Amino acid sequence: MTDGRAVEDLVVGVLGGTGPQGRGLAVRLAAAGQRVLLGSRDAERAEEVATEVAARAAAVAGAGEVSVRGGSNVDVAGAADLVVIAVPYAGHADTLAELATPLAGKVVVDCVVPMGWDELGAYVLDVVEGSVCQQAAVLLPDSHVVGAFHHLSAVTLEDLSQPTLEGDVMVVGDVREATDLVQALAGRLPGMRGVYAGRLRNARQVEALTINLVSVNRRYKAHAGVRITDV
Ligand SMILES: NC(=O)c1ccc[n+]([C@@H]2O[C@H](COP(=O)([O-])OP(=O)(O)OC[C@H]3O[C@@H](n4cnc5c(N)ncnc54)[C@H](OP(=O)(O)O)[C@@H]3O)[C@@H](O)[C@H]2O)c1
Protein backbone atom coordinates (compact mmCIF):
# COMPACT_ATOMS: atom_id res chain seq x y z
CA MET A 1 0.00 0.00 0.00
CA THR A 2 2.71 2.52 0.99
CA ASP A 3 5.71 0.17 1.45
CA GLY A 4 5.86 1.21 5.09
CA ARG A 5 6.44 4.89 4.30
CA ALA A 6 5.04 7.47 6.69
CA VAL A 7 2.28 9.73 5.42
CA GLU A 8 4.57 12.77 5.17
CA ASP A 9 6.77 10.86 2.71
CA LEU A 10 3.93 10.15 0.29
CA VAL A 11 3.13 12.07 -2.88
CA VAL A 12 -0.54 13.02 -2.75
CA GLY A 13 -2.42 13.34 -6.03
CA VAL A 14 -5.64 15.36 -6.23
CA LEU A 15 -7.87 14.60 -9.22
CA GLY A 16 -10.11 17.52 -10.12
CA GLY A 17 -7.46 19.55 -8.32
CA THR A 18 -8.25 22.71 -10.31
CA GLY A 19 -11.57 23.18 -8.45
CA PRO A 20 -12.00 24.89 -5.08
CA GLN A 21 -12.03 21.72 -2.99
CA GLY A 22 -9.01 20.16 -4.66
CA ARG A 23 -7.08 23.44 -4.63
CA GLY A 24 -7.98 23.99 -0.98
CA LEU A 25 -6.77 20.57 0.12
CA ALA A 26 -3.68 20.93 -2.05
CA VAL A 27 -2.64 24.33 -0.71
CA ARG A 28 -3.07 23.28 2.92
CA LEU A 29 -1.23 19.99 2.45
CA ALA A 30 1.56 21.61 0.43
CA ALA A 31 2.03 24.30 3.09
CA ALA A 32 2.35 21.47 5.62
CA GLY A 33 5.18 19.98 3.57
CA GLN A 34 3.29 17.29 1.64
CA ARG A 35 4.39 16.77 -1.96
CA VAL A 36 1.29 17.29 -4.12
CA LEU A 37 0.34 16.53 -7.73
CA LEU A 38 -2.71 18.36 -9.09
CA GLY A 39 -4.75 16.56 -11.73
CA SER A 40 -7.11 17.92 -14.36
CA ARG A 41 -8.69 16.76 -17.59
CA ASP A 42 -6.38 19.36 -19.14
CA ALA A 43 -2.72 18.98 -18.17
CA GLU A 44 -1.91 22.59 -19.08
CA ARG A 45 -4.63 23.92 -16.77
CA ALA A 46 -3.32 21.65 -14.03
CA GLU A 47 0.18 23.09 -14.41
CA GLU A 48 -1.13 26.67 -14.25
CA VAL A 49 -3.18 25.99 -11.12
CA ALA A 50 -0.31 24.03 -9.54
CA THR A 51 1.99 27.03 -9.99
CA GLU A 52 -0.56 29.32 -8.28
CA VAL A 53 -1.17 26.83 -5.45
CA ALA A 54 2.57 26.40 -4.88
CA ALA A 55 3.07 30.17 -4.63
CA ARG A 56 0.22 30.51 -2.13
CA ALA A 57 1.45 27.57 -0.06
CA ALA A 58 5.01 28.92 0.00
CA ALA A 59 3.72 32.26 1.34
CA VAL A 60 2.17 30.59 4.40
CA ALA A 61 4.13 31.43 7.53
CA GLY A 62 6.30 28.52 8.54
CA ALA A 63 5.95 26.67 5.24
CA GLY A 64 9.11 24.79 4.36
CA GLU A 65 9.95 23.45 0.94
CA VAL A 66 6.80 23.40 -1.21
CA SER A 67 6.25 20.96 -4.06
CA VAL A 68 3.10 21.18 -6.20
CA ARG A 69 3.07 20.05 -9.80
CA GLY A 70 0.26 19.56 -12.31
CA GLY A 71 -0.64 16.89 -14.84
CA SER A 72 -3.49 15.04 -16.48
CA ASN A 73 -5.73 13.08 -14.12
CA VAL A 74 -4.43 9.81 -15.53
CA ASP A 75 -0.77 10.79 -15.16
CA VAL A 76 -1.34 12.03 -11.62
CA ALA A 77 -3.22 8.82 -10.74
CA GLY A 78 -0.23 6.83 -11.93
CA ALA A 79 2.47 8.95 -10.32
CA ALA A 80 0.97 9.67 -6.88
CA ASP A 81 1.21 7.31 -3.91
CA LEU A 82 -2.22 8.25 -2.54
CA VAL A 83 -4.96 9.93 -4.56
CA VAL A 84 -7.82 12.21 -3.53
CA ILE A 85 -10.87 12.34 -5.81
CA ALA A 86 -12.28 15.88 -5.95
CA VAL A 87 -14.35 15.92 -9.14
CA PRO A 88 -18.10 16.66 -9.17
CA TYR A 89 -20.43 13.70 -8.64
CA ALA A 90 -21.65 14.08 -12.23
CA GLY A 91 -18.16 13.18 -13.48
CA HIS A 92 -17.21 10.70 -10.74
CA ALA A 93 -18.05 7.37 -12.35
CA ASP A 94 -16.69 8.29 -15.80
CA THR A 95 -13.46 9.63 -14.31
CA LEU A 96 -12.78 6.57 -12.17
CA ALA A 97 -13.78 4.08 -14.86
CA GLU A 98 -10.59 5.05 -16.74
CA LEU A 99 -8.30 4.81 -13.72
CA ALA A 100 -8.60 1.31 -12.27
CA THR A 101 -5.15 0.32 -13.51
CA PRO A 102 -3.11 3.39 -12.44
CA LEU A 103 -4.89 3.41 -9.06
CA ALA A 104 -4.48 -0.32 -8.35
CA GLY A 105 -2.89 -1.02 -4.96
CA LYS A 106 -3.25 2.62 -3.85
CA VAL A 107 -5.29 4.34 -1.20
CA VAL A 108 -7.97 6.41 -2.92
CA VAL A 109 -9.65 9.08 -0.81
CA ASP A 110 -13.09 10.11 -1.99
CA CYS A 111 -14.65 13.39 -0.81
CA VAL A 112 -17.37 13.59 -3.45
CA VAL A 113 -20.86 14.54 -2.29
CA PRO A 114 -23.92 13.40 -4.26
CA MET A 115 -25.76 16.69 -3.98
CA GLY A 116 -28.66 18.12 -5.94
CA TRP A 117 -30.35 21.53 -5.73
CA ASP A 118 -33.95 22.52 -6.20
CA GLU A 119 -36.25 25.31 -5.00
CA LEU A 120 -36.10 23.87 -1.45
CA GLY A 121 -32.31 23.94 -1.32
CA ALA A 122 -29.72 21.17 -1.29
CA TYR A 123 -30.68 17.50 -1.18
CA VAL A 124 -28.98 14.09 -1.39
CA LEU A 125 -28.96 12.23 -4.69
CA ASP A 126 -29.51 8.47 -4.58
CA VAL A 127 -26.44 6.46 -5.57
CA VAL A 128 -27.18 2.96 -6.85
CA GLU A 129 -24.14 1.46 -5.08
CA GLY A 130 -25.27 3.00 -1.75
CA SER A 131 -22.80 5.89 -1.66
CA VAL A 132 -20.23 7.62 -3.85
CA CYS A 133 -17.45 5.85 -1.93
CA GLN A 134 -19.02 2.47 -2.61
CA GLN A 135 -19.33 3.42 -6.28
CA ALA A 136 -15.60 4.15 -6.24
CA ALA A 137 -14.91 0.78 -4.63
CA VAL A 138 -16.86 -0.99 -7.38
CA LEU A 139 -14.99 0.89 -10.11
CA LEU A 140 -11.58 0.49 -8.45
CA PRO A 141 -11.64 -3.11 -7.22
CA ASP A 142 -7.89 -3.22 -6.64
CA SER A 143 -7.65 0.07 -4.70
CA HIS A 144 -8.33 0.79 -1.03
CA VAL A 145 -11.13 3.34 -1.09
CA VAL A 146 -11.51 5.59 1.94
CA GLY A 147 -14.09 8.34 2.41
CA ALA A 148 -12.88 11.60 4.02
CA PHE A 149 -12.78 15.43 3.77
CA HIS A 150 -16.52 15.77 2.96
CA HIS A 151 -17.16 18.23 5.79
CA LEU A 152 -14.39 20.71 5.01
CA SER A 153 -15.53 23.83 3.22
CA ALA A 154 -13.41 24.77 0.23
CA VAL A 155 -13.80 28.43 1.19
CA THR A 156 -12.23 27.77 4.57
CA LEU A 157 -9.49 25.58 3.11
CA GLU A 158 -8.53 28.26 0.61
CA ASP A 159 -8.69 31.12 3.11
CA LEU A 160 -5.08 31.14 4.21
CA SER A 161 -5.71 34.18 6.41
CA GLN A 162 -7.01 31.53 8.83
CA PRO A 163 -3.82 29.62 9.62
CA THR A 164 -5.62 27.00 11.70
CA LEU A 165 -8.70 25.09 10.69
CA GLU A 166 -11.31 23.92 13.14
CA GLY A 167 -13.04 20.55 13.06
CA ASP A 168 -12.69 16.85 12.51
CA VAL A 169 -12.46 14.73 9.40
CA MET A 170 -14.73 11.67 9.52
CA VAL A 171 -12.88 8.78 7.86
CA VAL A 172 -14.69 5.67 6.60
CA GLY A 173 -13.21 2.58 5.01
CA ASP A 174 -12.80 -1.15 5.20
CA VAL A 175 -9.02 -1.54 5.57
CA ARG A 176 -7.51 -0.41 8.86
CA GLU A 177 -4.11 0.45 7.38
CA ALA A 178 -5.79 2.68 4.80
CA THR A 179 -8.09 4.49 7.25
CA ASP A 180 -5.17 4.99 9.66
CA LEU A 181 -3.16 6.53 6.82
CA VAL A 182 -5.96 8.90 5.84
CA GLN A 183 -6.51 9.88 9.48
CA ALA A 184 -2.81 10.76 9.60
CA LEU A 185 -3.15 12.75 6.36
CA ALA A 186 -6.11 14.68 7.83
CA GLY A 187 -3.91 15.44 10.83
CA ARG A 188 -1.46 17.19 8.50
CA LEU A 189 -4.08 19.95 8.05
CA PRO A 190 -3.46 22.52 10.78
CA GLY A 191 -5.97 22.13 13.60
CA MET A 192 -7.69 19.08 12.09
CA ARG A 193 -8.00 15.49 13.28
CA GLY A 194 -8.98 12.38 11.37
CA VAL A 195 -11.57 10.32 13.25
CA TYR A 196 -12.49 6.78 12.17
CA ALA A 197 -16.24 6.70 11.54
CA GLY A 198 -17.03 3.21 10.29
CA ARG A 199 -16.85 0.90 7.33
CA LEU A 200 -17.36 1.98 3.75
CA ARG A 201 -21.00 0.90 3.94
CA ASN A 202 -21.42 3.83 6.35
CA ALA A 203 -20.13 6.35 3.83
CA ARG A 204 -23.65 7.28 2.79
CA GLN A 205 -24.40 9.09 6.06
CA VAL A 206 -21.05 10.90 6.02
CA GLU A 207 -21.63 12.09 2.45
CA ALA A 208 -25.23 13.06 3.22
CA LEU A 209 -24.31 14.99 6.37
CA THR A 210 -22.54 17.44 4.08
CA ILE A 211 -25.96 18.46 2.75
CA ASN A 212 -27.02 19.40 6.30
CA LEU A 213 -23.86 21.49 6.61
CA VAL A 214 -24.64 23.22 3.32
CA SER A 215 -28.08 24.05 4.75
CA VAL A 216 -26.47 25.39 7.93
CA ASN A 217 -24.13 27.51 5.82
CA ARG A 218 -26.98 29.01 3.81
CA ARG A 219 -29.05 29.89 6.88
CA TYR A 220 -26.21 31.22 9.04
CA LYS A 221 -23.88 32.53 6.32
CA ALA A 222 -21.18 30.22 7.70
CA HIS A 223 -18.70 27.58 6.57
CA ALA A 224 -19.63 24.95 9.13
CA GLY A 225 -17.72 21.76 9.85
CA VAL A 226 -18.09 18.94 12.38
CA ARG A 227 -16.39 18.26 15.69
CA ILE A 228 -16.64 14.79 17.28
CA THR A 229 -16.75 15.00 21.08
CA ASP A 230 -15.26 12.63 23.69
CA VAL A 231 -12.57 11.10 21.46
N1 LIG B 1 -16.57 22.88 -2.65
C2 LIG B 1 -16.70 22.42 -1.40
O3 LIG B 1 -16.78 23.20 -0.42
C4 LIG B 1 -16.74 20.93 -1.14
C5 LIG B 1 -16.77 20.47 0.19
C6 LIG B 1 -16.78 19.08 0.41
C7 LIG B 1 -16.77 18.22 -0.66
N8 LIG B 1 -16.76 18.70 -1.93
C9 LIG B 1 -16.76 17.75 -3.06
O10 LIG B 1 -15.52 17.89 -3.72
C11 LIG B 1 -15.70 17.72 -5.12
C12 LIG B 1 -15.08 18.92 -5.82
O13 LIG B 1 -15.75 20.08 -5.42
P14 LIG B 1 -15.48 21.46 -6.18
O15 LIG B 1 -16.36 22.45 -5.58
O16 LIG B 1 -14.02 21.70 -6.25
O17 LIG B 1 -16.03 21.04 -7.64
P18 LIG B 1 -15.87 21.65 -9.09
O19 LIG B 1 -15.16 22.95 -9.05
O20 LIG B 1 -17.23 21.62 -9.72
O21 LIG B 1 -15.00 20.55 -9.82
C22 LIG B 1 -13.66 20.29 -9.51
C23 LIG B 1 -12.88 20.02 -10.78
O24 LIG B 1 -13.36 18.81 -11.37
C25 LIG B 1 -13.18 18.87 -12.78
N26 LIG B 1 -14.44 18.49 -13.43
C27 LIG B 1 -15.54 19.26 -13.64
N28 LIG B 1 -16.51 18.53 -14.25
C29 LIG B 1 -15.98 17.29 -14.44
C30 LIG B 1 -16.47 16.11 -15.03
N31 LIG B 1 -17.71 16.03 -15.55
N32 LIG B 1 -15.67 15.02 -15.07
C33 LIG B 1 -14.40 15.08 -14.55
N34 LIG B 1 -13.88 16.19 -13.98
C35 LIG B 1 -14.67 17.28 -13.91
C36 LIG B 1 -12.78 20.30 -13.13
O37 LIG B 1 -11.39 20.29 -13.40
P38 LIG B 1 -10.80 20.23 -14.88
O39 LIG B 1 -11.77 20.94 -15.78
O40 LIG B 1 -9.52 20.97 -14.70
O41 LIG B 1 -10.65 18.78 -15.19
C42 LIG B 1 -13.04 21.07 -11.85
O43 LIG B 1 -12.13 22.14 -11.66
C44 LIG B 1 -17.21 17.61 -5.36
O45 LIG B 1 -17.55 16.26 -5.59
C46 LIG B 1 -17.85 18.09 -4.07
O47 LIG B 1 -19.03 17.38 -3.76
C48 LIG B 1 -16.73 20.04 -2.20
The reported pLDDT for the residue numbered 63 is 83
Alpha-carbon distance 149 to 214, whole Å? 14
Q: Residue 1 above 90 pLDDT?
A: no
Across residues 154-173, what is the average pLDDT?
A: 97
Query: Is the CB of residue 169 below 6 angstroms from any atom belonging to ligand 1?
Result: no
- State the alpha helices, DSSP H only, in the chain: 20-31, 43-58, 73-79, 89-97, 132-139, 154-158, 176-186, 203-220
Report the separation in Å between the CA atom of 5 and the middle of ligand 1, taken as the mean of its atom positions.
29
CATH of the domain at 40: 3.40.50.720
Atom of ligand 1 nearest to the CA of 45: 40
Query: Is the CB of residue 104 below 6 angstroms from any atom belonging to ligand 1?
Result: no
> Which residue's CA is the nearest one to ligand 1's atom 38?
40
Atom of ligand 1 nearest to the CA of 114: 47
In a domain, 2, yes or no: no
CB neighbours (10 Å) of residue 130? Answer: 17
Across residues 184-207, what is the average pLDDT?
A: 98
Pairing of strands 68-72, 82-85: unpaired
> Which residue's CA is the nearest one to ligand 1's atom 32?
91
Query: Is the CB of residue 90 below 6 angstroms from any atom belonging to ligand 1?
Result: yes
Report the separation in Å between the CA atom of 104 and the middle of ligand 1, taken as the mean of its atom positions.
22
What is this structure's pTM? 0.98
Contact by Cβ (8 Å): 147, 173: yes
Contact by Cβ (8 Å): 115, 89: yes
What is the tally of structural domains in the chain?
1
> Is residue 160 classed as helix, strand or coil in its secondary structure?
coil
The reported pLDDT for the residue numbered 61 is 86
In a domain, 55, yes or no: yes
pLDDT tens profile 69-102: 999 999 999 999 999 999 999 999 999 999 999 9
* CA trace torsion 55, 23, 73, 167 (10° rounding): 130
**From the centroid of its chain, how far is CA 45?**
19
In a domain, 172, yes or no: yes
Query: Is the CB of residue 114 below 6 angstroms from any atom belonging to ligand 1?
Result: no
What letter does residue 121 receive in the DSSP assignment? E
Q: With cut-offs at 50, 70 and 90, classify the pLDDT of residue 152.
A: very high
Q: Strand 144-147's sheet: what is its strand order?
A: 68-72, 35-40, 11-15, 82-85, 107-110, 144-147, 167-173, 192-196
CA angle 214, 217, 221 (to 5 degrees): 155
pLDDT tens profile 5-47: 999 999 999 999 999 999 999 999 999 999 999 999 999 999 9
Contact by Cβ (8 Å): 6, 29: no
In a domain, 91, yes or no: yes
Q: With cut-offs at 50, 70 and 90, classify the pLDDT of residue 186.
A: very high
Query: Is the CB of residue 150 below 6 angstroms from any atom belonging to ligand 1?
Result: yes
The residues with which 145 forms a beta bridge, in sequence order, are: 108
Q: What is the percent of the chain with per-residue pLDDT over 90, rounded to a whole number?
A: 97
In a domain, 77, yes or no: yes
Query: Is the CB of residue 50 below 6 angstroms from any atom belonging to ligand 1?
Result: no
Query: What domain range includes position 28?
Result: 7-220
Contact by Cβ (8 Å): 109, 37: no
In a domain, 1, yes or no: no
The reported pLDDT for the residue numbered 33 is 96
Query: Is the CB of residue 153 below 6 angstroms from any atom belonging to ligand 1?
Result: yes
Secondary element (H or E) of residue 12: strand 11-15
CA distances from 101 to 98, 124, 143, 230 (A): 8, 30, 9, 40
pLDDT tens profile 107-146: 999 999 999 999 999 999 999 999 999 999 999 999 999 9
In a domain, 30, yes or no: yes
In a domain, 206, yes or no: yes
Report the separation in Å between the CA atom of 115 and the middle of ligand 1, taken as the mean of its atom positions.
12
Contact by Cβ (8 Å): 197, 206: yes
pLDDT tens profile 44-65: 999 999 999 999 999 998 888 9
Query: Is the CB of residue 40 below 6 angstroms from any atom belonging to ligand 1?
Result: yes
